[in-house]
Chain A
Amino acid sequence: MKTTILLTAALMAGTTLAASAETLRWARAGDSLTLDPHAQNEGPTHTLAHQVYEPLIIRDMTGAFEGALATDWAPKADDPNVWVFNLRQGVTYHDGADFTAEDVVFSINRAKQENSGMKELLSSVVEVRAVDDHTVEFVTDGPNPILPSNLTNLFMMDSGWAEANGTVDVQDVDGGETTYATTNANGTGAFKLVSREPDVKTVLTRNDAYWGMDQFPMEVSEIVYTPIQNAATRVAALLSGEVDFIQDVPVQDLDRVDGSDGLVVKTAPQNRVIFFGMNQGPDDIPNDNVEGANPLSDVRVREAMNLAINRDAIKKVVMRGQSQPAGMIAPPFVNGWSEEMDLAETDLDRAKALMDEAGYGDGFSIQLDCPNDRYVNDEGICQAAVGMFGQIGITVNLDAKPKAQHFPLISSGGTDFYMLGWGVPTYDSEYIFNFLVHTRGEARGSWNGTGYSNPDLDAKIVSLASETDLDKRNATIAEIWEVVQDEVLYLPIHHQVLNWGMKEHVGIEVSPEDDPKMKYFTMK
């Protein structure tokens, strides 16, 4: 009897082992830039870091908050300027060191350094203090109701490991030596780093001592991550079975991948909206043919342009169905988004009438600046829009160029009419207002290339940061949106859609942040 039980147990153990030895070969267009979790605030870099390191809070695959290294968090009862985080107990780093409050203090201070790419997300944090080994307090410069949403990509490093390896400081971009953390990693995450050749291959193996072994599927035992830049090659690698999972399937290949035996494409709206910005501030702009006046500063012209864009046609022809027409510049996940505002209409007659009314019945011509390697079919969208604006008499000269040349134009104010895409990692409208609506200045409005400046609105935007009454705060957000919509500050086009291609046995749903976290993957 005893032997039978033992035998059964042994057999069962054998089967579980066999079933769980699953390698996930994963490819996407770009590689992580660095393993240093605080050096770069960039999508693919964070995605890789999420497998190895953990923040206090993460977003699960649906975008909802989930405790990672913190179990619960709340503002302090008697002090609205303080957030208290209770940390998970019994968590160890891959090298065996214990995770404690001291590591949180160290990591947050490290991420606040001058050379850190994450410091803007922590600009409201004045101090982080360890109350005891498993309690941390964040002191902010005023009440900050949305602090937790700024922490979902702020990874926790072991202070002892960093000191021992001389990597207490984030690397200085300008010369100097490369730091140990750039090429090595020691996190608390579900996977351990085995080897990494940047731009070639990164191998991770399951961390069997992970605190969440029983809470998550944890069915991937090994991850082999290879960036494959060329879209056709990436799809070919999936079709030929050399990889199991690719992010960013090009829209023209969706049918081919989905139609192949054993492969599926999963689709979901991304946390990114695509729109045009217009330089409406100055009295005259250089990139149009109107002398002594700025047609874009007339709200009727902007409204007419908004009515001229046929978003459904763009969706059908340019995006092959892979987009969701937008009427506002907030993705649907974001606090402040409303279905009503996100509706957009096309009405050429009214658009022409508005152009007449504004005194531009004969139209005008203007240059549109567009990236050609940043968003899905970005140049194609712009080309389609050129034809649409032409229907109301606006002659648009399209200038499409690589992102490295396009985005500096927006930063420097060198463009009067441009395309931009925006993702909202905090899932809150304040983030959009801070960067895109607030008057351009030292701290806010850095992506506002519209020249729009409204002191009343600015005051409301600033007030959001410290408004703790959430109902009141949401009311203010709605008020700001109303102005943005009425003024037609931007011309929204659509919400981008994500397409992940994978083998049938890989079980995962697309996350709006485009950041697969492999601990959630099932491998049937």
Chain B
Amino acid sequence: MLAYIIRRVGQSVLVLLVVGLVAFAMFRFVGDPVDAMLGQERTQADIARLTAELGLDKPFPVQYWRFLEQAVQGNFGLSYRQGRPVSEILVERLPATLELAFVSGLMALAGGIALGIFTAIWRRGISANVIMTVSLIGVSLPTFLIGILLIYLFSVELGWLPSFGRGEVTRIGWWTTGFLTESGVKALILPAITLGLYQMTLIMRLVRTEMLEVLRMDYIRFARARGIREKSINFRHALKNTLVPVITITGLQLGSIIAFAIITETVFQWPGVGLLFINAIQFVDIPVMAAYLMLISVMFVGINLIVDMLYFAIDPRLRIDRTGGGH
């Protein structure tokens, strides 16, 4: 067991290092931060001086090594754009993204399961078919379009919900939350729907398919034959067996909700890490881009590591000594 964990952790670290290396190799295609930093009146000498000072004249492996050296000591450098420590900026921005991801994840899960069950049980009904058709929109419309449509409907035309920002936030230690104020909760609704719509449709379709499968199983038929109530069959027997794959998928999707919040955050001017990353790309703010990519990859690698370990705990076949061969 221990050897297995050590091996997986080692692999994870390797993945992280490779992600960082690839990221640094790509940074120079994003552009040159020096022009943006110096403004219109810079001379050729200024450009040369700043390029050397930032080490941008060095090959990317050297720049990467410099970043790693600092990062290991917990120093992610100063943002080129804001002139403040990157770690401070990230900590400031993370609560907004996590709250948004949490709410839209929850919404996707609750909505997806409910609608999935509904469309599975009454699969020939009109409303189920309508839901299935409408859900195609959730899968096929791009996020930014959904966001803009929602803004025009609920902010401009109806005037119910704010079109941008996070509303009033309350500070609890280093964390800021929008859950405690009315404007904060209102501001959450549209971005959460925008971000969660795709996941909700995904979960709904997954639940529906699984449920239909389960409902065809023998034990459900026998239960029906025994005269057990429909409600009990659907929710106690069928649903429970449906949820296992749903939970696995949801766990894995959580990472992508956080990572793909970028577009939603840009549309709604949501002050999270995704918006920070977009700004960083436009300015070629290398320290912020590097830290963000590392953060996201740590998250993905971490989730995968946990899932792997859970499998190990659950699935006895993995515990067989691998040197034996045979698979």
Contact = CB atoms under 8 A, between A and B. Distances in A.
A26 interface: no
Tell me the interface secondary structure of chain B in the complex. helix
A242 B43 contact: no
B283 interface: yes
A270 B45 CA distance: 30
Given A117-B38, A237-B163, A173 B50 contact: yes
Interface residues of A, number: 54
A142 B155 CA distance: 59
Contacts of B83: 33-34, 36, 39, 171, 173, 178, 182
A197 interface: yes
A183 B53 CA distance: 24
B45 A443 contact: yes
B196 interface: no
Given A241-B159, A373-B282, A442-B44, A228 B78 contact: no
A236 B156 contact: yes
B164 A174 contact: no
A237 B164 contact: yes
Contact of A176 (B37, B38, B78): B78
Contact of B36 (A183, A198, A404, A423): A404
B32 interface: yes
A408 B38 CA distance: 12
B39 interface: yes
B279 interface: yes
A233 B268 contact: yes
A230 B265 CA distance: 10
Interface stretch (B102-110, B216-224, B269-277): B269-277
A130 B111 CA distance: 71
Interface in B264-323: 266-269, 271, 275-276, 278-279, 281-284
B152 A236 contact: yes
Interface in A110-131: 117, 120-121
Interface residues of B, number: 57
Contacts of A197: 92, 271
B44 A440 contact: yes
B84 interface: yes
Interface string A429-443: 000000100001111
B32 A408 contact: yes
Contacts of B237: none
Contact of B31 (A117, A236, A404): A404
Contacts of A173: 37, 50, 53-54, 78, 80, 83
Nearest to B155: A240
A407 B85 contact: no
Contacts of B266: 229-230
Contacts of A229: 266, 269, 275, 278-279
B31 A408 contact: yes
A450 B69 CA distance: 42
A270 to B, nearest CB: 14
Given A442-B45, A446-B42, A232 B282 contact: no
Nearest to B157: A240
B116 interface: no
A41 B43 CA distance: 13
Contact of B40 (A199, A404, A423, A442): A423
A40 interface: yes
Given A407-B35, A443-B45, A236 B163 contact: yes
Interface in A4-62: 33-34, 36, 39-42
A446 B267 CA distance: 37
A407 B47 CA distance: 12
A193 to B, nearest CB: 16
A227 B55 CA distance: 31
Nearest to B166: A200
Contacts of A239: 156
B195 interface: no
A405 interface: yes
A175 interface: yes
Contacts of B81: 33
Contact of A226 (B32, B46, B77, B164): B164
B162 interface: yes
Nearest to B269: A228
A233 B164 contact: yes
Contacts, number: 151
A233 B156 CA distance: 10
B30 A446 contact: no
B78 A178 contact: yes
A308 B53 CA distance: 44
B257 interface: no
Contacts of B53: 173-174
A34 B84 CA distance: 9
Nearest to A227: B269
B113 interface: no
Nearest to A260: B156
Given A233-B163, A239-B156, A402 B282 contact: yes
A435 B39 CA distance: 12
Contact of A121 (B41, B43, B162, B278): B41
A201 interface: yes
Contacts of B278: 229
Contacts of A423: 40
B138 interface: no
Interface in A387-411: 402-405, 407-408, 411
Contacts of B42: 120, 446
Nearest to B268: A233
A171 B79 CA distance: 12
B39 A117 contact: yes
A496 B50 CA distance: 31
A171 B81 CA distance: 12
A179 B81 CA distance: 14
Given A41-B40, A199-B276, A240-B156, A232 B82 contact: no
Nearest to A200: B271
Nearest to B30: A404
B43 A446 contact: yes
B148 A226 contact: no
A61 B304 CA distance: 58
B149 to A, nearest CB: 10
Contacts of B281: 404
Contacts of A442: 43-45
Given A120-B43, A236-B151, A236-B152, A404 B283 contact: yes
Nearest to A32: B82
Contact of B269 (A226, A402, A447): A226
B270 to A, nearest CB: 10
B34 interface: yes
Given A33-B81, A242-B162, 13 more contacts: A34-B82, A36-B83, A39-B83, A173-B78, A198-B82, A200-B166, A201-B165, A233-B164, A240-B156, A402-B30, A403-B31, A404-B30, A442-B45
Interface of B: 29-47, 50, 53-55, 77-78, 80-85, 89, 92, 148, 151-152, 155-156, 159, 162-166, 266-269, 271, 275-276, 278-279, 281-284
Listed from nearest, the 7 A-B pairs whose CB atoms lie closest are A404-B31, A41-B39, A408-B32, A120-B41, A405-B31, A200-B271, A240-B155
29 contacts: A33-B81, A33-B82, A41-B41, A173-B50, A174-B78, A175-B77, A178-B84, A178-B85, A182-B83, A183-B84, A200-B165, A226-B165, A226-B269, A230-B266, A230-B269, A233-B148, A233-B268, A236-B151, A236-B156, A237-B163, A240-B163, A402-B282, A404-B30, A404-B281, A404-B284, A405-B30, A411-B32, A435-B40, A444-B43
